[in-house]
Amino acid sequence: MKRRSFIGKAALALVTVTGIVAAISYLRQFFPRLAGEKQRVALGDPQLFPVDTYTFLDEHKLFVYRDHEGIKAVSAICTHLGCILEKSIDGFECPCHGSCYNDAGKVLSGPAPRDLAWYRVSRAADGKIVVDPGTSVPASEKFLSS
């Protein structure tokens, strides 16, 4: 194979692979559940969560908040570049680049471009409380557990 022919075929292969990857990435947004990104999270009994406290669930990257009325869940993933947030006195802080959010998940400062996502909390058929990271709700919405 001549050198010029090889370079031409290699360039064509590279363009083809790039096009396929771009097409798959584009189409993937229409099937988030098939991609396995938004699995419902079983929380169990609301009584497991202390009242007036944000509980961090490391494996699900969530903060779960419970008060006397009910329970709600917010993403612990910074909207800037995806670092895991830490709870501060009056909100959430990102240890990576310093974004700050208030208790409602609203951006107060930093490079974060969007507020935090709050997720629907409901009761599953088996009676357990579940969080649906595929369904965003307003920060004021909470599952009334009593």
Q: Which residues bind ligand FES (CB under 6 A)?
A: 78, 80-81, 83, 94, 96-99, 110-112
Q: Taking a C-beta distance cutoff of 8 angstroms, is the pair 109, 123 a contact?
A: no
Q: Which is nearer to ligand FES, 40 or 61 (CB)?
A: 61
CA dihedral 107, 112, 114, 120 (to 10 degrees): -80
> Closest distance between ligand FES and the C-beta of residue 96, in Å?
4
> Closest distance between ligand FES and the C-beta of residue 98, in Å?
6
Q: Which is nearer to ligand FES, 43 or 112 (CB)?
A: 112
Q: Locate 44 and state its tokens.
A: 């169990």
Q: Which is nearer to ligand FES, 74 or 112 (CB)?
A: 112
> Closest distance between ligand FES and the C-beta of residue 146, in Å?
35
Which residues make beta-bridge pairs with 102? 91
CA dihedral 36, 142, 48, 68 (to 10 degrees): 180
